[in-house]
A and B are shown apart, each in its own frame.
Chain A
Amino acid sequence: MSMTLETEPRKLPLHEEHLQKGARMGDFGGWLVPLFYTSIMGEHTAVRTKAGLFDISHMGELLVEGPGAIEYLEANLPRRIAPLKFHQAIYMPLVNDRGGMVDDIIVYRMAENRFLIIVNAGNIQKDFEWFAGRAPEDVIVTDLSESMGLLALQGPLSREILTEAFGAYYRDLKRFYYLDFEGGIITRTGYTGEDGYEIMVPMSKLRAVWEVLFRVGGKKGLVPVGFGARDTLRLEAAMPLYGHELNDTLTPLEADLEWALDLTKERFPGSEVLKGQKRSGILKKRIGFEMIERGIPRQDFEVRKNGRPVGKVTSGSFIPTTGKNIGMAYVETGEAAVGNVLEVMIRDRAVQAAIVSLPFYKRKV
């Protein structure tokens, strides 16, 4: 059996807590993170049926503020920012001048001209430079990533656990809104396809939040969840992951993220490229597929149609809920229809798969 070794990744602020809960640690984008505590399958199921708590403090937080903030973000982001209410949040790709994706982000409106932006861990520096480099003199961009910690409470029991832990004040928090909490915020967002919350607090308060949630939630079935199940949960919900489904050269239209753009906006970075693609069509597209024959698809495996290369797998896994082997891939638009049978090359063997509609999993409301 062969395994790869990692080189000195950064530790999370709750590293010791993870070890105490029996975490198996591993590398994720330069961070030493819990891969799982008991098992990926068990943790995946816990989030689908009860609740799970994730430490996602590796993620980045940027603050954009100043008298020109609203005008500046309107000019640089691919969705309209001005209609956002205070305490409201919105998801979107960050687009470069060529129409590629710098990152995917969530923008929170904290005041008329103050915005919090949650960014992917691996992109903190790149995003900071992107925002700071375009900012006029009356807009200040600050990287809060070192001082803020982030936990995600996800699953059907998360609302009950959250309100018992922190009070009825949070009971009616709506999806994609936030409320203030302990020098940070609680938002009703997530990356699992379940109901849930993300809790951002100063690093100094992170441990106390972690402990109180387990004190309240433990008896209801709340378990710590590692990055293994975070990946299977988001994959099953067909949520793209930067570095897999998204990168600097793929466009949001190819990534099937047109819903997260506003192409009626006159101008933003990359808007000409994207509007052109909208008019003339895209050459490749993100799709979901399910294996028909035995085999687990993994990132970078080639996708073929009758032996002809037509695309590449971006993510793939065995899925605990259904027991199926599924994946996402980019394939030529002409081969992207639901039902089309393709071959995934797994260790030099062509293994049949069928395109299915996304998401693979949708929670019952």
Chain B
Amino acid sequence: MDFPENLRYTKTHEWIAVQGNKGRVGVTAYAQQEISDVVFVELPKKDQVVQQVKTAAVVESVKAAFDIYAPVSGKITDTNKTLESNPGLINQSPYGDGWMFELELSNVGEVNSLLTVQQYKDLVQQTPKH
């Protein structure tokens, strides 16, 4: 499973690509596999203020809804509207065309609390499988 080096991760399986005080957010390859076929996405609104570890978006599979948490606090600057008509992009390209929203970080220091790629890989490996 692919976990890009240049991203930071959350224990709840979101990723964020940070550049300065801007960030782009999506869910990890592990998350999309666990969710399975994504059939519905509810995105935050532009200019909406989101808080670290609070729900910012919702992804639904056939069976269930999953809350997507903001990895860091900030203000939403853009969302990937393509997902509304093509939610399967999250499965096909979780780090690329399946990105979910972009935000302006209100506290860049929060990035330090996120997992590195190695920490995230360890977390995924420790997660029990049925």
**Which residues of A pack against B, CB within 8 Å?**
1-3, 24-26, 32, 35-36, 39-41, 228, 231-232, 294-296, 298, 317-318, 320, 325, 347
Other-chain contact of A41, B42, B62, B66, B130 (Cβ < 8 Å): B62
- Asked if B37 is an interface residue, CB under 8 A from chain A, the answer is yes
- Asked if B36 is an interface residue, CB under 8 A from chain A, the answer is yes
Q: Which residue of B lies closest to A2 (CB)?
A: B67
Q: Which residue of A lies closest to B41 (CB)?
A: A294
Between A and B, 29 residue pairs with Cβ closer than 8 Å are A1-B13, A1-B14, A1-B59, A1-B68, A1-B69, A2-B66, A3-B34, A3-B66, A24-B36, A25-B130, A26-B130, A39-B37, A40-B36, A40-B37, A40-B61, A41-B37, A41-B62, A228-B36, A228-B62, A294-B40, A294-B42, A294-B84, A295-B40, A296-B39, A296-B60, A296-B65, A298-B65, A317-B62, A317-B63
Q: How far is the CA of A211 from the CA of B61 in the complex (A)?
A: 30
Cβ-defined contact, B62 with A40, below 8 A: yes
Q: For the complex, would chain B's binding face be called helix, strand, loop or mixed by DSSP majority?
A: strand
Other-chain contact of A318, B13, B42, B62 (Cβ < 8 Å): B62
Q: For the complex, would chain A's binding face be called helix, strand, loop or mixed by DSSP majority?
A: mixed
CB neighbours of A35 from chain B (8 A): 63
Report the interface size for chain B: residues with CB under 8 A from the other chain.
Answer: 25
- Asked if B31 is an interface residue, CB under 8 A from chain A, the answer is yes
- Asked if B58 is an interface residue, CB under 8 A from chain A, the answer is yes
Q: How far is the CA of A320 from the CA of B59 in the complex (A)?
A: 17
- Asked if B35 is an interface residue, CB under 8 A from chain A, the answer is yes
Q: How far is the CB of B28 from chain A (nearest CB, A)?
A: 8
CB neighbours of A298 from chain B (8 A): 65
Q: How far is the CA of A232 from the CA of B62 in the complex (A)?
A: 8
- Asked if B89 is an interface residue, CB under 8 A from chain A, the answer is no
- Listed from nearest, the 7 A-B pairs whose CB atoms lie closest are A25-B130, A318-B39, A40-B62, A1-B13, A1-B31, A1-B66, A41-B37
- Asked if B105 is an interface residue, CB under 8 A from chain A, the answer is no
Q: How far is the CA of A36 from the CA of B58 in the complex (A)?
A: 22
CB neighbours of A231 from chain B (8 A): 63
- Asked if B12 is an interface residue, CB under 8 A from chain A, the answer is yes
Q: How far is the CA of A164 from the CA of B7 in the complex (A)?
A: 54
Most chain B beta-carbon contacts within 10 A, residue among A2, A26, A39, A298: A2
Chain B 4-27 near chain A by CB (<8 Å), digits 1 or 0: 000000001110000000000001
Q: How far is the CA of A164 from the CA of B16 in the complex (A)?
A: 54
CB neighbours of B58 from chain A (8 A): 347
CB neighbours of A3 from chain B (8 A): 34, 66
Q: How far is the CB of B1 from chain A (nearest CB, A)?
A: 15
CB neighbours of B62 from chain A (8 A): 40-41, 228, 232, 317-318, 320
CB neighbours of B63 from chain A (8 A): 35, 40, 228, 231, 317
Q: How far is the CB of A344 from chain B (nearest CB, A)?
A: 13
Q: How far is the CB of A306 from chain B (nearest CB, A)?
A: 24
Q: How far is the CA of A24 from the CA of B62 in the complex (A)?
A: 14
CB neighbours of A39 from chain B (8 A): 36-37
Cβ-defined contact, A36 with B36, below 8 A: yes
Q: How far is the CA of A311 from the CA of B100 in the complex (A)?
A: 34
Q: How far is the CA of A26 from the CA of B67 in the complex (A)?
A: 19
CB neighbours of A232 from chain B (8 A): 62
CB neighbours of A41 from chain B (8 A): 37, 39, 62
Q: How far is the CA of A295 from the CA of B13 in the complex (A)?
A: 23
Cβ-defined contact, B42 with A347, below 8 A: yes
Q: Which residue of A lies closest to B27 (CB)?
A: A1
Q: How far is the CA of A232 from the CA of B61 in the complex (A)?
A: 12
Q: How far is the CA of A25 from the CA of B129 in the complex (A)?
A: 9
Q: Which residue of A lies closest to B66 (CB)?
A: A1
CB neighbours of A24 from chain B (8 A): 36, 130
Q: Which residue of A lies closest to B57 (CB)?
A: A1
Given contacts A1-B66, A39-B36, A40-B61, 7 further A-B contacts (CB under 8 A): A1-B59, A41-B37, A228-B62, A232-B62, A294-B40, A295-B42, A317-B63
Q: How far is the CB of B27 from chain A (nearest CB, A)?
A: 6
Q: Which residue of B lies closest to A32 (CB)?
A: B130
Q: Which residue of A lies closest to B59 (CB)?
A: A1
Q: How far is the CA of A25 from the CA of B36 in the complex (A)?
A: 13
Most chain A beta-carbon contacts within 10 A, residue among B14, B60, B84, B130: B130
CB neighbours of A25 from chain B (8 A): 130
CB neighbours of B13 from chain A (8 A): 1
Q: Which residue of B lies closest to A40 (CB)?
A: B62
